[in-house]
Amino acid sequence: MRSFFTILLVLGGTGFIGTGRLPQIQGQAPVSVIHAGFAQMDITPDTAAAKVYIAGFGSNRVATGVHDPLFARAIVLEQPGGKKIGIVSVDLVGFFHDFTLETRKLVPELDYLVICSTHNHNGPDTLGLWGPGFGRSGVDKAYVRSIQKRIPNLIKEAMGNKVPCKLVAAKASAPELLRDGRLPDIKHDDLVVLRFDDAKSGKPHGFLLQWNNHPETVDSDGTLITADFPTPALETISKSLGCKGIYLTGTVGGLMTTIGVKVKDKSGKELPLKTFETMNRLGELLGEKALVALKEAQNVPFSQLEYKSKIVHFPVENRGYQAFFKLGVFNRKAFVETTKGQFESIQPSDAGDRKFWMQSEVGWIGLGDAEFFLVPGEIYPELVLGKFQDPVEPGADFPDAPLEKSLFSMSKAKWKMTVGLANDEVGYIIPKRQWDEKAPFCYGREKSQYGEINSLGNETAPRLSEAFQELFAK
């Protein structure tokens, strides 16, 4: 962390930590193959060896066993003579930015490593919020370290099975597979699937599924570890294509959820909510939807593999989060602003009454017409799609706040994907006009809707949008 900060100062404090854009060569035909490799490793915690606090809902939910294993899945992309990029997606609730920065040091062979989480609500606490009681972390540091230590091998394995691939992409809308748990009812209900076909044999070599939903089907009473619907979704596709895949969680704020989504089994019988049956069926239906979409898949021509990333700071205005920092529940550094736009890390316990900030990162990966927007938390669909409620709810705290520029309006790519909880988990990223902590409340409600309590503050969304605009201006 400190070394990164030093580099930033040397660069004149621009905050850019990397850019993988290659110089455009005039008249050069688009390269049609990308080298891609896939790998996965089991990261299921041993519930018999140590107490495992399950993340996602209330505190002190102790695991009693394992329903299905958790995985870390990786894809490595390489353009010969160009950049090497790795994406690792873990079946966990989230990891902080400090974890990403530390892990990157272990894989110097990559130009850029993304660590993202599916945001699983039935896996171990890896953030600290779900321990035995308030202010007590549920993180097993040895478990977290063991995952980190094994990531270089996972990347090596993915590098080892890299082959030149042709890329095809498809998209489908699946509003029936998610529910919006917060008004206004705005969903991000598109799934995107990329298939990497071995350029020599033409056979599928691997795939990537991106979808926008909370993996929390069995809800808050479950005490068995499970990866939720992403695993059956991937298995459904894998079975048909005969290759491995990776799942990326996207726009999950606002609140995209599996809770309350009703599905039917193959015979048409409606399945009971909060069960593993429903969870598996949801995954299966998602996988089937991706397979149907792939029948209409289109080639993705591209000329180069690119990436960009940028450090961003968010003020920590949430009093609960301030306390978690100071109590050491959050295992990450705090930052103070020294001069405008310049930040320095401090121990949270030294912050006193000073305003402090969280350091995070936004990023982008471009694969021709397929693009990934790397968002360090749970972004609301409005901020991705630009579908803001109009007119604004009069009860909102900042009804006149300017609308944030939406992420997808910043690009003309055909297949745009959000990667949520990418490289960090800063909580909910709420449009400022939707912020609603003070009475009168929106929609005539007697109290505020759920969301703000798990957000750093009302400045997070404007700052995130600005950071992406700066990223693309470079």
Q: Which residues here bind Zn ion, judged by CB under 5 A?
A: 378
Gap between the Cα atoms of 406 and 464, Å rounded: 10
Contact 255, 56 (CB under 8 A): no
Among the listed residues 415, 440, 442, the one whose alpha carbon sits nearest the alpha carbon of residue 193 = 415
Report the nearest approach of Zn ion to the CB of residue 282 (Å).
17
Q: Bridge-partner residues for 236, per DSSP?
A: none
Which C-beta is closer to Zn ion: that of 188 or that of 244? Answer: 188
Report the nearest approach of Zn ion to the CB of residue 214 (Å).
6
Which C-beta is closer to Zn ion: that of 371 or that of 378? Answer: 378
Gap between the Cα atoms of 111 and 101, Å rounded: 13
Which C-beta is closer to Zn ion: that of 214 or that of 308? Answer: 214
Q: What is the 3-state secondary structure (H, E, C) of the chain?
A: CHHHHHHHHHCCCCCEEEECCCCCCCCCCCCCCEEEEEEEEECCCCCCCCCCEECCCCCCCECCEECCCCEEEEEEEECCCCCEEEEEEECCCCCCHHHHHHHHHHCCCCCEEEEEECCCCCCECCCCCCCCCCCCCCCCHHHHHHHHHHHHHHHHHHHHCCEEEEEEEEEEECHHHCEECCCCCCCCCEEEEEEEEECCCCCEEEEEEEECCECCCCHHHCCEECCCCHHHHHHHHHHHHCCEEEEEECCCCCCEECCCCCCECCCCCECCCCCHHHHHHHHHHHHHHHHHHHCCCEECCCCCEEEEEEEEEEECCCHHHHHHHHCCCCCCCEEEECCCCCEEEECHHHCCCCCCEEEEEEEEEEECCEEEEECCCEECHHHHHCCCCCCCCCCCCCCCCCCCCCHHHHCCCCEEEEECCECCCCCEECCHHHCCCCCCCHHHCCCCCCCHHHECCCCHHHHHHHHHHHHHHC
Which C-beta is closer to Zn ion: that of 306 or that of 378? Answer: 378
Report the nearest approach of Zn ion to the CB of residue 92 (Å).
12
Which C-beta is closer to Zn ion: that of 40 or that of 258? Answer: 258
Which C-beta is closer to Zn ion: that of 159 or that of 456? Answer: 456
Report the nearest approach of Zn ion to the CB of residue 228 (Å).
12
Report the nearest approach of Zn ion to the CB of residue 252 (Å).
6
Which C-beta is closer to Zn ion: that of 31 or that of 183? Answer: 183
User: CA 385, 387, 389: angle at the middle one, nearest 5?
Assistant: 155
Which C-beta is closer to Zn ion: that of 119 or that of 416? Answer: 119
Cα 132 to chain center, whole Å? 26
Place of tokens 């599924």: 209
Give the CA radius of gyration of the chain: 21
Which C-beta is closer to Zn ion: that of 74 or that of 282? Answer: 282
Report the nearest approach of Zn ion to the CB of residue 55 (Å).
10
Report the nearest approach of Zn ion to the CB of residue 111 (Å).
30
Report the nearest approach of Zn ion to the CB of residue 136 (Å).
20
Which C-beta is closer to Zn ion: that of 199 or that of 259? Answer: 259
Q: Which residue is nearest to Zn ion (CB)?
A: 378
Contact 8, 14 (CB under 8 A): yes
Which C-beta is closer to Zn ion: that of 302 or that of 380? Answer: 380
Report the nearest approach of Zn ion to the CB of residue 290 (Å).
23
Report the nearest approach of Zn ion to the CB of residue 454 (Å).
7
Among the listed residues 465, 472, 454, 312, the one whose alpha carbon sits nearest the alpha carbon of residue 386 = 465
Which C-beta is closer to Zn ion: that of 366 or that of 451? Answer: 451
Report the nearest approach of Zn ion to the CB of residue 421 (Å).
9
Length of the chain: 474
